[in-house]
Amino acid sequence: MKHDPNCLFCKIVDRKIPAKLIHNDEMAIAFEDINPQAPSHILIVPNEHISDIQSMKEGERELIGHLFFVARNIAAARGLDKGGYRLVINNGRDAGQAVFHIHLHLLSGRAFAWPPG
């Protein structure tokens, strides 16, 4: 499994940095965002280090799809599906990506504007 010892989210996957864990399985973990932008702000992160969407390989299709399935299950378990939620991947500098280990933001608990800022 690809791993970057200097990567913040690899350190959270390895439990070297603490996080409020919500879910973990053989492919991904989910935890509370440290700086929430909504009443519920959860990050879903592959255990494997993949820096961004452009770095995805053919064999990682299922892994990326799994992130969405984890989001779906968390939304259902927490009732976030009732009012709705927003799933976001910030990819690259101009999109505001700060941590270069792919992650899916699951935001819920308030209404979101469109178009995004």
Instruction: Tell me if residue 3 is catalytic.
Output: no
Question: From ligand 5GP, Zn ion, none, which one binds at residue 99 (CB under 5 to 8 Å depending on kind)?
Answer: ligand 5GP
Residues at the interface with ligand 5GP (CB under 6 A): 8, 17, 19, 31-35, 43, 90, 96-99
Site residues (CB under 5 A) for Zn ion? Answer: 4, 7, 9-10, 49, 101
Choosing from 49, 101, 103, 105, the catalytic residue is 103
**Closest separation between CB of residue 21 and Zn ion, Å?**
16
70 CB neighbour count, 10 Å cutoff:
24
**Residues with catalytic roles:** 103
